[in-house]
Structure 1
Amino acid sequence: MRARRQTREPTIALINIVFLMLVFFMVAGTLAAPTETPVSLVRTAELEGLAPPDVLVIHADGEMQYGRDTVSDLEAFYEGLPNAARSQIRLMPDRAAPAHELIGVAGQLRSLGADRVLIVTEQALP
């Protein structure tokens, strides 16, 4: 009868991986020094979500608004913009606005000559 040869586990490889992970997290993680004086942060929970003045808002019912003006004709809206503002246009759609409406407005603005059409969204916080 032949004795079975025991295979050794690759512990050196495991130690190397753990060490590399440790070094990675030490380099990737940044530790900020605490401030010398206590700081009270601004609370924004009570702020009302207002659109910036240079953004085209698309409401849930499809109505568009730029500042306080209602926009019914995109071509007239685009032609009425200053030349500096025509290259980059920001859209802020309502969450309930139909996606096809947003895509249509963005496509029409691009066909009118806008180089970039940016969509303003809400950033989800962890």
Structure 2
Amino acid sequence: TDFYLSLFHFQSSQNYFRGCFLSISNVTLTCRAPSNNIIVVEWSRADLGKECVLMYRDELFVPDEQHPSFKNRVDLQDRQMKDGDVSLILKNVMISDTGTYECRIFRKTNPSRSFLVLLLLLLGVNLELIL
């Protein structure tokens, strides 16, 4: 069975909107932040409660805080976070991965910042996306 992805990306701090449509098994949820002094990256989804999709703190993953359904299925696109790239790679995408994801960063010198990313997965449906 093929998954078809309709990805709408909205960064509230920059009023930025982008959409795409493709058949996938892995997907990258884009998030960029100011690149200086990032000490924590947290990817979460509201329906997961206190557990997160991914927690990366002080250059290490924190598996104890991760929801079991994302174990061994997520990674950062660039663990060095060059140019503020804190995008999430989600592997072996499932229909249950549908949801609104939040990318939150914490820096040494500034308060935290959040970005919302909506991931909508449609199973076996051919659609045309018009923006």
Higher relative contact order (CA 8 A, sep 6+): 2
Q: Of the two, which has the highest radius of gyration?
A: 1
**Normalised TM-score (structure 2):** 0.24
TM-score normalised by structure 1 residue count: 0.25
